[in-house]
């Protein structure tokens, strides 16, 4: 994949070359999207809209830390949607990981989560965030146990992941109408990189075959159900809907 690669660390250790080789990235000086190694983290920038700033994954500080400390925890809609109850903490495959926010919420309440991400740039951002998270004194211990990244296409990986999870979580990219500054900024940069998930409808059936209990699909409240398959089971929040579909139980 071609993208502009930039190193702002001032170091001469070749870290950018190692990164490019690992994720199969080629430097393209004229690409409007840039993956930038800063002294603090790896970030994605839209070069023709510098005011949007850089997007990076941060499990340790910022909004994620605030959500972990002061958010609803088990009471969050995503936690209810995957079926967390009492001692039941399902094993989850997040097949559309994005920046890892929902996966992190589920891990922070005790679920083991495997994140799938097919875009190499997004996978590199997630990996950078995980590396810093794993090294953190506060969250590193449980984060290493509960949150991991698999760089693969969901369409193929969903058919051969073992062991099978109890829940598959899907949050396909869908054009957002919200005017919130953060969503607008992130979606503009993100959609410039990956575009909408045009093949997202094809994820529902393999997800239902893989999950032993349920599939949860996060949709904006104005979006039709995935693959136009309606379900009476949903958790509705302000602005979103978590549609719940039955999985395929394990056979003895």
Q: Is 117 annotated as a binding residue?
A: yes
What confidence score (pLDDT) does residue 90 get? 99
Give CA–CA dist 155/148, Å, rounded: 18
What confidence score (pLDDT) does residue 178 get? 59
Q: Is 101 annotated as a binding residue?
A: yes
**What's the CATH code of the domain at 33?**
3.40.1630.10
Q: Is there a single domain that holds both residue 188 and residue 72?
A: yes
Q: Which residues of the chain are under the pLDDT cut of 70?
A: 175-183
Residue 145 domain-assigned (yes or no): yes
Burial (0-12, 13-18, 19+ Cβ within 10 Å), 27: middle
What confidence score (pLDDT) does residue 194 get? 87
Q: Is 171 annotated as a binding residue?
A: yes
Q: What is the pTM of this model?
A: 0.94
Q: Is there a single domain that holds both residue 50 and residue 67?
A: no
Residue 161 domain-assigned (yes or no): yes
Domain boundary, last residue among 55, 81, 97:
55
Q: Is there a single domain that holds both residue 26 and residue 76?
A: no
Q: Is there a single domain that holds both residue 21 and residue 95?
A: no
Q: Is 13 annotated as a binding residue?
A: no
Q: Is there a single domain that holds both residue 161 and residue 44?
A: no
Give residue-wise pLDDT tens across range 46-86: 999 999 999 999 999 988 888 888 888 899 999 999 999 99
Domain boundary, last residue among 55, 79, 98:
55
Distant-in-sequence contacts of 49-52, Cβ < 8 A, 24+ apart: 49/188, 49/189, 52/185, 52/188, 52/189
In SS3 terms, the chain reads as CEEEEEECCCCCCCHHHHHHHHHCCEECCCCCEEEEECCCCEEEEECCCHHHCCECCCCCCHHHHHHHHHCCHHHCHHHHHHCCECCECCCEEECCCCCCHHHHHHHHCCCCEEEEECCHHHHHHHHHHHHHHHCCCCCHHHHHHHEEEEECCHHHHCCCCCCCCCEEEECCCCCCCCCCHHHHHHHHHHHHHHCCCCCHHHHHHHHHHHCCCEEEEEEECCCCCHHHCCCCCEEEECCEEEEEEECCCCCC
Give CA–CA dist 93/162, Å, rounded: 10
Q: Is there a single domain that holds both residue 225 and residue 122?
A: yes
Q: Is there a single domain that holds both residue 37 and residue 81?
A: no
Domain ranges, residue 211: 62-246
Q: Is there a single domain that holds both residue 190 and residue 96?
A: yes
Residue 17 domain-assigned (yes or no): yes
Residue found by looking up tokens 């097919």 in the block: 118
Residue 92 domain-assigned (yes or no): yes
What confidence score (pLDDT) does residue 183 get? 64
What confidence score (pLDDT) does residue 180 get? 65
Q: Is 102 annotated as a binding residue?
A: yes
Residue 213 domain-assigned (yes or no): yes
User: What are residue 214's DSSP bridge partners?
Assistant: 167, 246
Q: Is there a single domain that holds both residue 34 and residue 50?
A: yes
Q: Is there a single domain that holds both residue 69 and residue 45?
A: no
**What's the CATH code of the domain at 102?**
3.40.50.150
Cis peptide before 163 (omega within 30 of 0): yes
Q: Is there a single domain that holds both residue 16 and residue 81?
A: no
In the chain, how many domains are there? 2
Domain boundary, last residue among 38, 55, 72:
55
Q: Is there a single domain that holds both residue 48 and residue 74?
A: no
What confidence score (pLDDT) does residue 179 get? 56
What confidence score (pLDDT) does residue 89 get? 98
Residue 252 domain-assigned (yes or no): no
């Amino acid at each position: 994949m071609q993208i502009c690669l930039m190193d702002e660390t001032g170091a001469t250790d070749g870290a950018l070359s190692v990164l490019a080789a690992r994720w199969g990235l080629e430097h393209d000086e004229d690409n409007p999207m840039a993956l930038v190694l800063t002294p603090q983290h790896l970030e994605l920038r839209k070069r023709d809209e510098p005011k949007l700033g850089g997007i990076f994954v941060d499990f340790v500080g910022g909004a994620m830390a605030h959500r972990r400390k002061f958010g609803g925890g088990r009471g969050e809609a995503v936690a209810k949607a995957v079926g967390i109850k009492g001692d039941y903490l399902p094993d989850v495959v997040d097949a559309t990981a994005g920046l890892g926010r929902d996966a992190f919420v589920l891990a922070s309440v005790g679920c083991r989560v495997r994140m799938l991400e097919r875009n190499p740039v997004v996978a590199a951002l997630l990996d950078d965030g995980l590396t810093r998270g794993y090294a953190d004194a506060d969250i590193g211990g449980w984060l290493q146990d509960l949150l991991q990244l698999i760089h693969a296409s969901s369409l193929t990986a969903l058919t051969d992941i073992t062991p099978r999870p109890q829940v598959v979580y899907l949050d396909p990219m869908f054009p957002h109408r919200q005017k919130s500054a953060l969503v607008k900024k992130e979606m503009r940069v993100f959609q410039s990189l990956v575009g909408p998930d045009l093949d997202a409808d094809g994820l529902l059936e393999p997800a239902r075959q893989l999950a032993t209990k349920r599939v949860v699909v996060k949709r904006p409240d104005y979006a039709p159900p995935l693959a136009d398959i309606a379900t009476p089971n949903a958790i509705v929040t302000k602005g979103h809907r978590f549609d719940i579909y039955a999985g395929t139980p394990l056979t003895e």
